[in-house]
Amino acid sequence: MRPALTQLSEDEIQFRDAVRSFAENEIKPLVQEMDHKAEMNPQLVKKLFEMGLMGVESPEKFGGAGSTFTMACLAVEELARVDASISVLMDVQNTLVTNAFLKWGTPALQEKYLPKMATEWVGAYALSESGSGSDAFALKTRAEAKGEKFVLNGSKLWITNGKEANVFIVFANIDSTKGYKGITAFIVEKGMPGFTIGKKEDKLGIRASSTTELLFNNCEVPASNVLGEVGKGYKIAIETLNEGRIGIGAQMLGIAQGAYEAALNYTKSREQFGKSIASFQGVQFQLAQMRTELEAARLMVYNAARLKDSGQDFIESAAMAKLYASKAAEKITSMAVDLFGGNGFTKEYPVEKFWRDAKIGQIYEGTSNMQLQTIAKIELGI
């Protein structure tokens, strides 16, 4: 069962269905292999560009679709319904990197990078470090001004799209005595001298999505590649992540939807005691609980996306959407494994992967505790 169509416009429904068809026909046959190898199929990345999914909000003059944030979230959801790894690649591209360029990039930077990002270049967002996770501004990576350049030294961890990316938004501190007010965002291209991609993490879930270390050893970046203003990187990070949380909520929503549909279909066909297990009230109650929590998560994610598109305050709604959708995804995928019984514990069936993929939702782009903190501070006015 799908949500009421009144939640979406006709254009949104057509777009959603087109992405769903692409995911079912092009991505689904490759999911198991990509998960096993922990590698993204490069042809799928190419097809994401061909579908226009890597520049959903980019203006048409830059080769993008010129669409809305809500449209981007619908695509994230539909891709995650089949494979969360492909979904997060597209999510980071749109809700973090492209959004940052649109909001903070100079016209020259937008002209230089957005056309490439809409047609061929993957983007990555490099904030986290070994000692800088929830304490996002405890950065050790340094940037020193030298004439018309900045020289970066340090490292980043947990960088999504690290292997595939051509362009990175990298946060570094130009003056540690100023604390977070020294943090500056730089645009770093793959291949710049002094910049290398480090180890790739071997993860529990979203295994085909590359998560890598980035290393900077006297990496020279043109001063023109500062994103926003020098010393204002903290503001870019906060505001971009507020938007990105909605995208992660959409990803969790898609994972939960995929697991729920798999469980629903399985319970109709699996027989015990001479009839389908869907005929047992205990199973029916579990399905009803899954469906209800799924719909609640969907309404919260869509609401946050609509608020963002309409220019209204969405920060609390974004935190609530990510918090609830990530918890709902973990619960729904776990229940799906239970309903599959022993089969759910094998890789022959899809639900164990949905369960593994769901766990990251309560960790990246702000842990659940950080979302609770954001909500509480807004409610208390502190």
What is the CATH classification number for the domain harbouring 357? 1.20.140.10
- The answer to whether residues 200 and 253 belong to one domain is no
With 0.85 as the threshold, say if the pTM is over it.
yes
- The answer to whether residues 251 and 354 belong to one domain is yes
- The answer to whether residues 249 and 293 belong to one domain is yes
Contact (Cβ atoms closer than 8 angstroms) between residue 257 and residue 302: no
- DSSP secondary structure string for all residues of 172-213: EES-GGGGGGGEEEEEEETT-TTEEEEEEP--SSSTTS-EEE
What is the CATH classification number for the domain harbouring 166? 2.40.110.10
- The answer to whether residues 369 and 241 belong to one domain is yes
Per-residue pLDDT tens digits of the chain, which is 382 residues long: 444 434 799 999 999 999 999 999 999 999 999 999 999 999 999 999 999 999 999 999 999 999 999 999 999 999 999 999 999 999 999 999 999 999 999 999 999 999 999 999 999 999 999 999 888 888 999 999 999 999 999 999 999 999 999 999 999 999 999 999 999 999 999 999 999 999 999 999 999 999 999 999 999 999 999 999 999 999 999 999 999 999 999 999 999 999 999 999 999 999 999 999 999 999 999 999 999 999 999 999 999 999 999 999 999 999 999 999 999 999 999 999 999 999 999 999 999 999 999 999 999 999 999 999 999 999 999 9
- The answer to whether residues 172 and 195 belong to one domain is yes
Annotated catalytic residue 365: yes
Helices 315-340 and 281-309 pack at an angle, to 10 degrees, of 160
Last residue of a domain, one of 122, 142, 167: 122
Question: Which of 78, 129, 352, 365 is flagged as catalytic?
Answer: 365
Closest by CA position to 196, among listed 219, 180, 173: 219
Last residue of a domain, one of 172, 206, 232: 232
> What's the confidence (pLDDT) of residue 6?
45
Residue 223 structural domain = 124-232
What is the CATH classification number for the domain harbouring 58? 1.10.540.10
**Consecutive H or E run containing 96:** none
> What's the confidence (pLDDT) of residue 133?
84
Last residue of a domain, one of 105, 122, 139: 122
How many structural domains comprise the chain?
3
